[in-house]
Structure 1
Amino acid sequence: MHLGLAVPQYGRFADPRLSAQVSAVAEEIGYHSLWVGDRLLTPVAPITPYPGGDGTFPAEHQVFLDPLTTLTVAAGATERVRLGSSTLNAFWQPPVVLARALTAIDLVSAGRLDVGLGLGWSADEYLAAGVPWQGRGARLEETLDILERVWADTGTVRHNGPLWTVPESVMLPKPVQRPRPPLLLGGFGDAALARVGRRADGWLAGPLPVPPVARMWRTVRQHAEEAGRDPDALRLVLRVNPEITAEPVPDDQVPRRGTLDQLVDHLTVAIVTTGAEPLIDLHFAAQDADHYADLADALYHLLHQRIG
């Protein structure tokens, strides 16, 4: 069983010192991976409401450390754990700049990077970043094309596409991991799930009940088979960011809220049903860095007691 933990990064935990401290503790506990998220801004009068609750953005999202910098901090504080993004918006940097930045993190971490990319859901962020909202899927496909070309073992890089032109160039160094760092993609729509099956190494899922996650995972696997790929080689990383309660809550509130036992029950079913790798985000549950580490320790050992 591979367990992941979100690196302290936003809200009261938006402090690089806490990012480093908890990353080191998570590695000592035995976590397999550490992950960052990506929030560019919190609009005052949003075009797109927050996709949860009554649509109000969490106050914690008003303070958010840059994900790539935070991953670099986590890399320097650890030696073994994998380092990933769930999910990094693929469009806030041109693809060649993104490829260079991700290559640097793979080098700094000695080949421990998992590249998790998504389209995001906030039209406000697209507006602020100067990126068109329309055509997101095609933009991601071309971004992936350029990343793969930059990382490939070819003498030079060249790309001519609808959105970007890269003149024939030398781009070195290459990532440690060959032929490239593992690539995971987020998204829940039909096109997104098909894209995962066609060209990714795994799917980044969110805090949904297990039945819809299992259904979408079967769709991903079917698309992989149709593309002539091995579905058993794909990974499912399931992110949960719960509020931990003292008393049990109704089942329909889990995994967004619930006791430690309810969260462990949910993750146990997900692991057994789908083979998921849980990614536990404790920003909404922990009171301070020590509490963050204590909760991470408790969840790690409870899940290992349950599953082994």
Structure 2
Amino acid sequence: MRIGVNLPHYGTLTGPDDVLEVSRAVEAMGYDSLWTGDRLLSPLEPSDRYPGGDGTMPAEMGVYLDPLTTLTFAAAATTRLRLGTSTLNATWHPPVLLARTLTTLDVLSRGRLDVGLGLGWLQDEYTATGVAWDRRGERLDEIIDVLEKIWGEEVVAHDGARYRVPASRILPKPVQRPRPPILLAGLTPAALTRVARRGDGWLAVGMPLPYLGSLWDKLKAETQRYGRDPGTLRMVLRLNPRITTEPADPSQVPARGTLEQIAAYAKDSGADEVFVDLTLTVRSREQMLDLAGRFLDLMRAG
């Protein structure tokens, strides 16, 4: 199992030294990957309830750095760590511009990018970006079509329902060939079908283990029905707990619990990669690095 950690790019820790020092420190500890999420605004009267807890978006999400800029900054301070998004809301971006930014990050990091894409959950963010909320899944599929053409074809041309690219050469290509891995998020039947049909992996989130396992089994079976090898599909699991000093009720794990409880959950998840987001707990860089070091030790322990 690969083990990652979320970059300090939202909440209390959003300064340049936070990003640089945490990136260098967790690489030295032996972590495998760094991750960012994507949040655009914190509406005063939200259009939708937050999909977790009591439905209120955590206050820490009121401060949020751009995920790809932050990963590029971290890439310059590291040499080995994979760099991923879980998730990047691709539908807010024109696909040609998105392809250029992602390609730039892959080139500058020497081929360390994992492209994690999703749709988000907050209609207010679509309003703010001028993007239609309706048919957003279809929009994401077309964006992926354009990304794959740009990354894989010498002459790129696209004439779709929402985007048109005149026949062009678009360079450079990513370092990773045939393209960076595309990981897709979602829990709905349509989202899981998209993963099965065209994703290199599934971006999962913490949930009761029996439910997680059942979704993963269904996803692998559907992948096979599309004529793909389910053994090549990765599950990357994001955990963003509130770390407690005393054991939480097992029903609350992994939303909250001790480091030991969270690590035990991660080990039992069946994921190929787990990354922990400590933002809801930490209030200093020192605290984050202490918890990150202890979590890694627990994950490595037999």
Q: Which runs of 5+ in 1 are unaligned?
A: none
Counterparts of residues 183-262 of structure 1 (less than 5 Å) = 183-262=182-261
Partners of 1:275 and 1:18 in 2: CA distance: 28
SS at match of 2:296: helix
- Confirm or deny: 8 A CA contact 2:151 2:178 kept in the other structure: yes
- Asked if 1:289 is matched to 2:285, the reply is yes
SS at match of 1:239: strand
Q: Amino acid of the residue matched to residue 284 of structure 1?
A: L
SS at match of 1:279: strand
Partners of 1:276 and 1:208 in 2: CA distance: 16
Partners of 2:36 and 2:263 in 1: CA distance: 22
Runs of 4+ deviating beyond 6 Å:
none
Q: Name the structure 2 match of 1:300.
A: 296
Q: Amino acid of the residue matched to residue 208 of structure 2?
A: P
Aligned-residue CA RMSD (Å): 0.9
User: How far 1:276 sits from its partner (Å)?
Assistant: 3.3
Counterparts of residues 150-165 of structure 1 (less than 5 Å) = 150-152=150-152, 154-165=153-164
Q: Name the structure 2 match of 1:46.
A: 46
Partners of 2:143 and 2:89 in 1: CA distance: 11
Partners of 1:180 and 1:2 in 2: CA distance: 21
Partners of 1:251 and 1:87 in 2: CA distance: 27
Partners of 1:15 and 1:42 in 2: CA distance: 20
SS at match of 1:74: helix
- Confirm or deny: 8 A CA contact 2:23 2:34 kept in the other structure: yes
Q: Name the structure 2 match of 1:98.
A: 98
User: How far 1:218 sits from its partner (Å)?
Assistant: 1.1
SS at match of 1:214: helix
- Confirm or deny: 8 A CA contact 1:194 1:219 kept in the other structure: no
User: How far 1:104 sits from its partner (Å)?
Assistant: 0.1
Q: Name the structure 2 match of 1:29.
A: 29
Q: Name the structure 2 match of 1:77.
A: 77
Q: Quote the sequence identity (%).
A: 52
Q: Amino acid of the residue matched to residue 220 of structure 1?
A: L
- Confirm or deny: 8 A CA contact 1:244 1:257 kept in the other structure: yes
TM-score computed with the length of structure 2 as normaliser? 0.98
User: How far 1:170 sits from its partner (Å)?
Assistant: 1.2
User: How far 1:16 sits from its partner (Å)?
Assistant: 2.4
User: How far 1:207 sits from its partner (Å)?
Assistant: 1.5
- Asked if 1:278 is matched to 2:277, the reply is no
Count of residue pairs brought into register by the alignment:
302
TM-score computed with the length of structure 1 as normaliser? 0.96
Q: Which runs of 5+ in 2 are unaligned?
A: none
Q: Amino acid of the residue matched to residue 18 of structure 1?
A: D
- Confirm or deny: 8 A CA contact 2:106 2:174 kept in the other structure: yes
